[in-house]
Amino acid sequence: MSFAGRFTTVGRAREFILAGNATITLVSVMTQVRFTYRIRMKREEYQGRFRENPNLHFVSVLTGSNNENDYTFLSQRMRTIPIMVICQLTTPL
């Protein structure tokens, strides 16, 4: 089994996800169901220039077949809210 492209620690995964422009696919070990998420850092205008706000991220989930454009807004994440809370919101009931 190849581990290419997989995170080996939670710290590395968190660093990648919160870097500002991440797309990740999570695969269930039991069912092999995949969910692809796009996490974008908020950009805001400041003194006529745009800058990224590292305290706010927007999370979208892939809902169609187009891997570039078929994302639906899922949640916003403040840096003070753990990532696990967002992941739990996507769990099917």
pLDDT tens for 25-50 read 888 889 989 999 999 888 777 777 77
Does any domain span residue 85?
yes
Does any domain span residue 50?
yes
Planar angle of CA 25, 31, 37, nearest 5 degrees: 20
Residue 28 has what pLDDT? 85
Does any domain span residue 3?
no
Please give the sequence-ordered ranges of beta strands (E in DSSP) within the chain, or none if there are none.
21-27, 34-46, 49-62, 71-78
Does any domain span residue 2?
no
Does any domain span residue 40?
yes
Q: How many domains, in total, are found in the chain?
A: 1
Does any domain span residue 1?
no
Domain region containing 54: 10-89
Q: What is the mean pLDDT of residues 57-84?
A: 79
Q: What is the mean pLDDT of residues 1-11?
A: 70
Q: Is 2 helix (H, G, I), strand (E, B) or coil?
A: coil
Residue 78 has what pLDDT? 64
In whole angstroms, give the CA distance from residue 13 to residue 7: 6
> Looking at residue 9, what DSSP letter applies?
S
More confident residue, 80 or 66: 66
In whole angstroms, give the CA distance from residue 41 to residue 29: 29
